[in-house]
C-alpha cells in the first residue's frame, strides 16, 4: 500500500513476448476465448491483511492445492468487458465502473472479499496497457477482458474462505456467434431453470453458468445457439438467455424487457440499451413477459423483433425460437430495423464513431 492507501502494482514484463507477426495472425478471426494475451494481473486477499501483492506479470498457470476451496464449494465470480481500438488508435473501455460495481455486488452475494472499484479499474487498465498490441483495430474485433476472483484457501470446511485471488486475463475476440450471424436461433428450456428467487441469478458467479450448461447442450442438440430461461416458480415468464439479456420490439415501436427481479443478471448492455432507446424517443418498459404471449405476439405480428444483448454478444437479433411444442419465427427471421438502429448506435459509441454524450467511454492512456 502507498501512503494514499492505493495498491501498488509491480510490473514484470513477459521475458519472451509474442512477436508482432504472431499477434497479427492471432487477431485474424479469433475464436471467442481461445487465444490469450501475454500477461495477467493478480491481487491477493487474506483475512486480516486485506488486498496485497498486486502484480502485472507473464500469464502463467496457477498452482493450487487439491483442497483449494473453489474446487469444492465454487466461490468464484467474474466479469466480462471489452477494450476497443477506436478512431486514431485511441484505446477505450465501455462503462468499466459499472463492471467494478457489479463485481462488488457479486462478491457480496457470494461472501467473498470486497475489491474497491478503483483497484478493479486500475487492474483492468494495467492489463490493457501492457497488452495493448493485442487489441484488434477496426471491424467487429475487440479485446475481451475477464476479471475474476476465486477462493484460494486450502480448507475443506464449509464457510466463506479466508483467502482469495483476483485476476484479470484478456483475449482478442471477434463476433461471439460463429460467422457473425445476423440472427440466431434460441431454444426455450421447458425443463431447466437458471435461477430462483433468493438464489444467485443476479450475481455473475461461475456456478450459474455451470447450472445452465445442460440446457445449453440441449439447445445445441436442437440446432440452437442459445437457451432462453423461464422463471423457476411458474415456468412461464421469460427471464434471460444463458449469457445475455433479452428485448422485445412491439408493433407500436416500444421496447419491452424483463425486469431486474433478482433472478437475472443486471446487464450493462441492457441498461445502456434502455437509456439509448429512451433518448431516441422509444418507450421502454421493464415488465414481465410470458412465453405464451411472446409466441402469440410473434405469430400475430404484435412482436416485430426480439434481440439478445450482452458484452460478448453485443446486440444480436433472435430470428427463430424453438420449444418443446414447435417453432416460430420473429418478423422475417433476420435482423429488424430497431435492432439494427440500436446496435449501430451502441457500437458506434463504444468504438468512438458516435459522440459519447452520456460519458460512457473511458479512455485508457
Instruction: Rank residues 45 and 289 by Cβ distance to ligand PLP and give the closer one.
Output: 289
The DSSP code for 178 is: G
CB of 311 to ligand COI, least distance (A): 4
From residue 45, give the alpha-carbon distance in Å to each of 59, 113, 150, 170: 19, 7, 10, 22
| Cα separation, 182 vs 231, whole angstroms | 27
| Cα separation, 235 vs 191, whole angstroms | 9
Among 193, 311, 316, 339, binds ligand COI (CB under 6 A): 311
What mask of x and - would describe binding to ligand COI in positions 226 to 265, judged by CB under 6 A? -----------------x----------------------
CB atoms within 10 A of CB 326: 8
Does 175 participate in binding ligand PLP (rule CB under 6 A)? no
CB of 118 to ligand PLP, least distance (A): 20
Does 174 participate in binding ligand COI (rule CB under 6 A)? no
- Taking CB under 6 A as the binding criterion, the range among 6-14, 54-62, 242-250, 282-290 that sits at the site for ligand PLP is 242-250
Residues 300-339 that bind ligand PLP (CB under 6 A): 310-311
- 262 backbone φψ class: left, alpha, beta (φ>0; ψ -120 to 50): left
CB atoms within 10 A of CB 288: 15
Does 80 participate in binding ligand PLP (rule CB under 6 A)? yes
- Find how far residue 278's CA is from the centre of its chain: 23
Instruction: Rank residues 23 and 314 by Cβ distance to ligand COI and give the closer one.
Output: 314
Does 334 participate in binding ligand COI (rule CB under 6 A)? no
Burial of 148 (0-12, 13-18, 19+ CB in 10 A): middle
Does 265 participate in binding ligand PLP (rule CB under 6 A)? yes
Q: b vs e for 339-359, b when ≥16 Cβ sit within 10 Å of the residue's Cβ? A: bbebbebbbebbbbeeeeeee
In the list ligand PLP, ligand COI, none, the entry touching 240 (Cβ below 5 to 8 angstroms by class) is ligand PLP
Count the residues of the shown chain that bind ligand COI, applying the rule CB under 6 A. 5
CB of 242 to ligand COI, least distance (A): 7
Count the residues of the shown chain that bind ligand PLP, applying the rule CB under 6 A. 12
Amino acid at each position: 500500500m502507498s501512503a494514499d492507501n492505493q495498491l501498488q502494482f509491480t510490473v514484470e514484463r513477459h521475458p519472451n513476448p509474442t512477436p508482432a507477426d504472431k499477434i497479427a495472425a492471432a487477431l485474424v478471426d479469433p475464436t471467442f476465448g481461445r487465444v490469450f494475451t501475454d500477461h495477467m494481473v493478480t491481487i491477493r486477499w487474506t483475512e486480516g491483511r486485506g488486498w496485497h501483492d498486486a502484480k502485472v506479470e507473464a500469464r502463467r498457470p496457477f498452482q493450487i492445492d487439491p483442497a483449494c476451496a473453489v474446487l469444492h464449494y465454487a466461490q468464484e465470480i467474474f466479469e466480462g468487458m471489452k477494450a476497443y481500438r477506436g478512431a486514431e488508435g485511441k484505446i477505450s473501455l465501455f462503462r468499466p465502473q459499472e463492471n467494478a460495481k457489479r463485481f462488488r455486488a457479486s462478491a457480496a452475494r457470494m461472501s467473498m472479499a470486497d475489491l474497491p472499484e478503483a483497484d478493479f479499474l486500475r487492474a483492468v487498465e494495467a492489463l490493457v496497457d501492457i497488452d495493448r498490441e493485442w487489441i484488434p483495430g477496426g471491424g467487429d474485433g475487440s479485446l475481451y477482458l475477464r476479471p475474476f476472483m476465486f477462493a484460494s484457501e486450502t480448507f475443506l470446511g464449509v464457510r466463506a474462505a479466508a483467502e482469495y485471488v483476483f485476476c484479470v486475463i484478456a483475449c482478442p475476440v471477434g463476433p461471439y456467434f460463429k460467422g457473425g450471424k445476423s440472427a440466431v436461433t434460441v431454444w426455450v428450456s421447458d425443463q431447466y431453470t437458471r435461477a430462483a428467487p433468493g438464489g444467485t441469478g443476479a450475481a455473475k458467479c461461475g456456478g450459474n453458468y455451470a447450472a445452465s450448461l445442460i440446457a445449453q447442450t440441449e439447445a445445441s442438440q436442437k440446432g440452437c445457439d442459445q437457451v432462453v430461461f423461464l422463471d423457476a416458480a411458474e415456468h412461464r415468464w421469460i427471464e434471460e438467455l444463458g449469457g445475455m439479456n433479452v428485448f422485445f420490439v412491439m408493433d407500436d415501436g416500444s421496447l419491452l424487457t424483463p425486469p431486474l427481479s433478482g433472478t437475472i443478471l443486471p446487464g450493462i448492455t441492457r441498461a445502456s440499451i434502455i437509456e439509448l432507446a429512451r433518448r431516441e424517443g422509444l418507450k421502454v418498459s421493464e415488465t414481465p413477459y410470458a412465453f405464451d404471449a411472446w409466441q402469440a405476439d410473434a405469430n400475430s405480428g404484435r412482436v416485430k423483433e426480439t434481440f439478445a444483448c450482452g458484452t460478448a454478444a453485443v446486440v444480436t437479433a433472435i430470428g427463430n425460437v424453438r420449444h418443446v411444442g414447435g417453432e416460430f419465427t420473429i418478423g422475417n427471421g433476420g435482423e429488424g430495423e430497431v435492432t439494427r438502429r440500436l446496435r449501430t448506435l451502441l457500437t458506434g459509441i463504444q468504438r468512438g464513431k458516435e459522440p459519447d454524450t452520456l460519458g460512457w467511454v473511458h479512455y485508457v492512456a
